[in-house]
Structure 1
Amino acid sequence: MAVASQPLGRRERNKQAKLERITAAAGELFAQHGVDDVTTQQIADAADIGTGTLFLYARTKGELLLLVQNAHYAAALERGQADAAAATTALDGVMALVAPIAECNRVQVDNGRTYLREMVFGDPGEPHHAEALSIVAQTEEAVADVLTTRAQVPAVEAATLARVVSAVLLLELGASVNAASSLPDLLASIRTQVAAILPR
């Protein structure tokens, strides 16, 4: 017999409401001004909370960016997985999978690059950072799955190649030299590099 979930108590409802206000305020301010030009005080004011309360939910501005962006990246991964399901070749499948992630990263270029930097160099013990790393791991698993199903690559080799694809994606999206590159140009470069590592 299924057990009904208990309704949230007042304290938990208040915490959830504050988290939602913080996420909405930070997301709006980051989208309008870029993460570098927004202060934690502005986010706290927009969320109608004190800065001390804000830091209970995210200790740094980088963590706030991870909080905001993780949901977008998770949704992009879902879209990529759906698109990859229709691909007939391993290369097309990998590109279908990573294209929405690259597009998500380029919505606001500086925010996208900062997100990647926080993900790589941030504190993995922070919950929003851990969630970002989990999305990367899920992406790598999805790439490995494409390689095993479309190109019959053995699982261990597919996992290694998926990590290389992940590194290519990170470098192409995060590199300063690519800050002004268009999304089609980035995807073309990623495709060329992925094609070079896939089994023939």
Structure 2
Amino acid sequence: MGRGRMPTGRREQAKQAKRERIMTAARELFAEHGVGGVTTQQIAARADVAIGTLYLYASTKAELLIMVQNEKFAAAIDAGLATANAAVDKQGVLEPVVALIRPVVECVREHIENGRTYLHELVFGDPAEPYRQAGLALAGRLEDGITGLLVRDEHISAADAETLARVISAIIHLSTTATVHLHRSDEAVLTDIRDQIHATLAPHHRAV
């Protein structure tokens, strides 16, 4: 081993430690000031890394936001799935679906600016960028979870369940990011989403 070269294990530990510092700094600053009120230089300074080092982990502020929000999004989906899968609704699948999406809506609206920017970046950003790929995979996991609940309904086919899950995902996206809803409470937004999902599912029961 050459002089001055850090062993591979220690290098990886050092890289992981820097990544954690960057993530923590970004998480704190975005929570304090919103994504629009933070610069990458401020994040690098709080993480105690050079700006060039920060760019090795995320090349833009948007990527840093996606890194942070992906963790929150994943935790919200986990919580929603656990609650929904434990729910038994003799009246149908509506309430389990709402139970699944409740933590997701609360996550996106925890900091309105950050949540809106995150969803915008996932939809309109470069889908080949690794952090966006991870975020899109999480969105797919949410849709799969909704599909899994919908197929419990004997009146909804597997094919229709997949389509309805995409529709419900669109309802969540619009209801949590539209400017007209920004000043509403989480509960008001969730009630509106529930009503929209109910109306979306209703034709499948009327047709029987």
> Is structure 2 residue 200 aligned with structure 1 residue 197?
yes
CA drift at 1:142? 0.3
CA drift at 1:156? 1.3
Q: How does 1:10-25 map to 2 (within 5 A)?
A: 10-25=10-25
Secondary structure of the structure 1 residue equivalent to 2:26: helix
List structure 1 segments (4+ residues) > 4 angstroms apart after TM superposition: none
Q: Normalising by structure 1, what TM-score?
A: 0.93
Aligned pairs, number: 193
Which of 141, 144, 161 is 2:144 aligned to?
141
Q: How does 1:118-133 map to 2 (within 5 A)?
A: 118-133=121-136
> Is structure 2 residue 158 aligned with structure 1 residue 155?
yes
Which of 76, 95, 99 is 1:96 aligned to?
99
Which of 111, 114, 118 is 2:117 aligned to?
114
Q: Normalising by structure 2, what TM-score?
A: 0.89
CA drift at 1:124? 1.0
Q: Deviations over 1:58-84 (max 9, x none)?
A: 111111011011111111101101111
1:90·1:151 contact (CA, 8 Å) conserved in 2? no
Code of the aligned partner of 2:63:
E
Cα distance in 2 for residues equivalent to 1:53 and 1:170: 34
Which residue is 2:4 aligned to? none
Which residue is 2:181 aligned to? 178
Code of the aligned partner of 2:128:
G
Q: Deviations over 1:113-159 (max 9, x none)?
A: 11111111111111111111011000000000000124452211111
Cα distance in 2 for residues equivalent to 1:177 and 1:62: 24
> Is structure 2 residue 164 aligned with structure 1 residue 169?
no
Which residue is 2:73 aligned to? 73
Code of the aligned partner of 1:67:
M
Cα-Cα RMSD? 1.2
> Identity, % of aligned pairs?
49
CA drift at 1:197? 1.1
> Is structure 2 residue 37 aligned with structure 1 residue 37?
yes
Q: Which has the larger radius of gyration?
A: 2
Secondary structure of the structure 1 residue equivalent to 2:152: helix
Code of the aligned partner of 2:177:
G
Q: Which runs of 5+ in 1 are unaligned?
A: 1-7
